[in-house]
Every structure is written in structure tokens, then in C-alpha cells.
Amino acid sequence: MTRFHVPEMSCGHCTAAIGKAINAADPAARIDCDLNARIVSVESALDTATIILAMKEAGYDATPVEAA
């Protein structure tokens, strides 16, 4: 699972738009959004750059979060 910080994500509409964008690129992707932390966790066959591009095309900048 890859985690991304998405600073502009602030509501349910944001999470829906992000989920839709990622699922358009990989319908089998599993996505979890934490609005309070503004973190999107994605389990997908897509590489990190492709996931970031999908979110950017939906209007959201994202940066990978290093695993603790």
C-alpha cells in the first residue's frame, strides 16, 4: 500500500473525485482516504507516478509519504 499526502483534500467530494480518478486508471485499486490527516492510501498495480498523475488530473496535488 502506498500513502500520499493530499493537502487540498478537505471533504467528501474531494475523496470521491480522488477515488474516481484512481479507479479510472485501475478499477481494482483499493483506496482509503483519511480526511483529518489528508492522507490517501492506495493499493494498486499502478506505479506511484501514475497514481500521482491521476490525482493531479482530478485537481489534487499529492506527494508520497514515507512508511514509518
Per-residue pLDDT of 14-42, as tens digits, reads 999 999 999 999 999 999 999 999 999 99
pLDDT value at residue 66: 82
Cell numbers standing for residue 22: 484512481
Q: Quote the percentage of the chain above a pLDDT of 90.
A: 94
Alpha-carbon distance of 45 to 36, in angstroms, equals 26
pLDDT above 70 (res 49) = yes
Q: pTM for the full model?
A: 0.91
Within a 10 A sphere around the Cβ of 16, how many other Cβ atoms? 12
Pick the CATH number of 2-65 from 3.20.20.70, 3.30.70.100, 1.10.287.3510, 3.30.360.10: 3.30.70.100
Domains of the chain, by residue range, sit at 2-65
